[in-house]
Structure 1
Amino acid sequence: MILLAATPIGNLGDASARLRSTFEEATVIAAEDTRHTAQLLRLLGIENRPELVALHDHNEHDRAAGLVDRAQTEDVVLVSDAGMPTVSDPGFRVVQLAAERGVAVSAIPGPSAVITALAVSGLPTDRFAFEGFLPRKAGERSRALRALASEQRTLVLFEAPTRLAASLGELAEAFGAARPAAVCRELTKLHEEVRRGGLGELAEWAASGVRGEIVLVVGGAVAGAASPESALAEVQDRVRAGERLKDAARSVAEATGLSSRELYAAALAARERPLSR
Structure 2
Amino acid sequence: MKIFLKSLIVTGILVASCAKNPFTGKSTMALVPNSQIFPSAFQQYDQFLSENKVLKGTSDAKRIETIGIKIKTASERFLTANGKSDYLNDYKWEYNLVESKEINAWCMPGGKIVFYTGILPVCKDDAGIAAVMGHEVAHALANHGQQRMSAGLLQQAVGVGAAVAAEKYVPKYQNEAMQAYGAGSQVLGILPFSRAHESEADMIGLTLMAIAGYDPINAVKVWERMSAQSEGKSQPEFLSTHPSNQTRIDELTALLPQAKAEAAKFGVTFK
- Determine which structure has more spread, i.e. the larger CA radius of gyration: 1
TM-score (norm 1): 0.25
TM-score (norm 2): 0.26
- In proportion to residue count, which structure has more helix? 2
